[in-house]
């Protein structure tokens, strides 16, 4: 059974409302993995404080082509979160404050439910915070004082991650600095419009919604500097 995570550096309905390539791709993966032509898709907007506008945009993007739902935690309505999430084909995590999101998930047991969902073949995806959370660690702006190392991600994928790699001027140099210093382990960076597709801990491919979007492997070289390697990509357009 595949254990699929699609980590979008940036993109999807909230960043590219007129470009459905990445969202279409994850829906296709969910159809293939779970066998339903109209997949069940659940949105987690925890990182944005369950923003009503964000949730409304999700329904506008998905309600016509999937059985769409969302999991609210600030005004919680689901008693059995694990069963609710295990009934999905695709779980889509939005952007926002990653550290706050992970802390809230752990209070409500969402972290454990997501691990079980991953192990049972439910496709997991997201952008920004929803991309970073699946890794052990990475770069986050959760603390509001520039980019820092994420304290503890879910760890489904080993190593570190930097989303929005080309979208913000400080992302690349700060990630290089933290990897070079040993504050972060080696990992993967993704531009806006690029998505890293994993099966378990293994990178399967990189897909993009923009012809020039890229993804990278970033490691600490023997001389102590960060070394960046461009990964092969497949443009979905």
- pLDDT tens, 118-170? 999 999 999 999 999 999 999 999 998 899 999 999 999 999 999 999 999 99
DSSP class of 198: E
Is 209 marked active-site?
A: no
Phi, psi of 157 (to 5 degrees): -115, 125
* pLDDT at site 145: 80
Average pLDDT, the chain: 97
Give the active site residue among 25, 161, 164, 176: 164
Strand 135-140's sheet: what is its strand order?
Answer: 148-149, 135-140, 157-162, 187-190, 215-220, 226-230
Are the beta carbons of 193 and 213 closer than 8 angstroms?
yes
DSSP class of 99: H
Q: Is pLDDT at 197 greater than 80 in this prediction?
A: yes
Segment 55-62 mean pLDDT: 98
Are the beta carbons of 31 and 128 closer than 8 angstroms?
no
For CA atoms 90, 30, 195, 180, the dihedral sign is: positive
Percentage with pLDDT > 90 across the chain:
99
DSSP class of 211: T
* pLDDT at site 1: 75
- pLDDT single digits (tens) 68-108: 999 999 999 999 999 999 999 999 999 999 999 999 999 99
* pLDDT at site 233: 98
At CA 123, angle to CA 84 and CA 142, rounded to 5? 85
Give the active site residue among 128, 131, 160, 162: 128
* pLDDT at site 15: 96
* pLDDT at site 124: 98
Is 128 marked active-site?
A: yes
* pLDDT at site 113: 98
Q: Is pLDDT at 219 greater than 90 in this prediction?
A: yes
218 vs 228: CA distance, rounded Å: 4
DSSP class of 48: G
Segment 193-209 mean pLDDT: 98
Are the beta carbons of 58 and 86 closer than 8 angstroms?
no
- pLDDT single digits (tens) 17-46: 999 999 999 999 999 999 999 999 999 999
User: Which domains, from first to last, does the chain contain?
Assistant: 4-235 (3.40.50.880)
Phi, psi of 184 (to 5 degrees): -130, 145
DSSP class of 187: E
* pLDDT at site 20: 97
């Amino acid at each position: 059974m595949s254990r699929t995570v699609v980590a979008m550096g940036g993109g999807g309905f909230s960043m590219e409302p007129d470009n459905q390539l990445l969202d279409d791709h994850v829906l296709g993966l969910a159809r293939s993995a779970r066998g339903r032509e109209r997949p069940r898709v659940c949105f987690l907007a925890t990182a944005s404080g369950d923003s009503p506008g964000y949730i409304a945009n999700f329904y506008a993007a998905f309600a016509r082509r999937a059985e769409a739902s969302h999991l609210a935690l600030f005004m919680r309505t689901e008693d059995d979160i694990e069963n609710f999430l295990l009934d999905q084909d695709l779980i889509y995590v939005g952007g926002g404050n990653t550290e706050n999101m992970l802390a809230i998930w752990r209070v409500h047991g969402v972290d454990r439910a997501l691990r079980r969902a991953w192990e049972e073949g439910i496709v997991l995806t997201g952008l920004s915070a929803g991309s970073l959370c699946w890794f052990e660690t990475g770069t986050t702006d959760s603390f509001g004082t520039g980019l820092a190392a994420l304290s503890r991600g879910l760890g489904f994928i080993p190593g570190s991650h930097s989303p929005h790699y080309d979208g913000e001027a400080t992302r690349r140099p700060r990630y290089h600095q933290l990897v070079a210093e040993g504050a972060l382990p080696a990992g993967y960076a993704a531009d806006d419009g690029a998505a890293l597709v994993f099966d378990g801990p293994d990178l399967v491919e990189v897909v993009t919604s923009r012809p020039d979007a890229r993804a990278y492997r970033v490691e600490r070289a023997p001389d102590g500097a960060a070394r960046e390697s461009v990964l092969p990509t497949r443009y979905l357009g």
